[in-house]
Amino acid sequence: MSSTFSPHRVSASAAVAGATGYLAIDLAALGRNYQKLAAMLAPGRAAAVVKADAYGLGAERVAKTLSERGCRHFFVAQFVEAQKLRPTLRSDAQVFVLNGLQPGTEIECAEAGIIPILNSLEQYQRWSDAAGELRRTLPAVLQFDTGMSRLGFPPQERAELAQALGENSNVEVLFIMSHLASADEVDDVQNAEQLAEMCRIADEFTGFDISFANSGGVFLGGAYHGVLARPGIALYGGAPTSGVPNPMEPVVSLDVAVVQTRTVPAGAKVGYGAAHVTTGETRLATIAAAMPTACRES
């Protein structure tokens, strides 16, 4: 965050409205971050996680920028996000719903050309039933829990899933995937444990490509990459690995106006409840932290 405010960098309409700060989104840096990750993953591919409106930066403009850099795979969390995003993308792009589908949305999802990540036998069966109702094969991705205890088929469901795959031919599995829980900690033993479990699953479900790496996983090495990695926070400039310099470019910056400055002596009480007491003469600044919506793209 900048401690100074540059009014000349804010749009005229924002200045008239009396804006005291703005959020800048550097789409060029976003694109370079994607290209950096894609180069690290080659010959595998880099997808983009654009859930929660691309972490609040605007899924449509983020996806457009990444599409211009060659991205063709986009992951959201909820079906409603995919519904909004899908019409804005190229026809050869794919949109995946990480949480799978709520009951009753299967037909709408299929007709919109959106691909669910199936996380349970119930979701798989509902998607297969939708394929039967539409009398065509529907694409899907199977997610397995490799130790995070969040989404994905648990170990005890794998045998039944394998049987269902053998009996049904109306679900086309594009790839299988899992999610790393501790990838930002390079030396965490959970990374190797999850990789070993993913390898066991690949041996059980042969013939399917693998998607495994998240942002941190990209930096764990080729064994974690698979054919398609799913970076999220790293795209937006967040540090993918803790304890080392961040290799990603910052994408978001915040400029806030300084309302008032003052110099106070030692022993001055600062803030509600005297949350801080100065130990020496101190220069203080009060900033306009309640931000209006003055945004600039670059």
List the catalytic residues: 51, 272
DSSP string, the chain: -BSS--GGGS-HHHHHTT--EEEEE-HHHHHHHHHHHHHHHTTSEE-EE-HHHHHTT-HHHHHHHHHHTT--EEEESSHHHHHHHGGGS-TT-EEEETT---TT-HHHHHHHT-EEEE-SHHHHHHHHHHHHHHTS-EEEEEEB-SSSSSSSB-GGGHHHHHHHHHH--SEEEEEEE---SSTTSTT-HHHHHHHHHHHHHHHHSTT--EE---HHHHTT-GGGTBSEE---GGGGT--SSTTS---SPP-EEEEE-EEEEEEE-TT-EESGGG-EE-SS-EEEEEE--S----EEE-
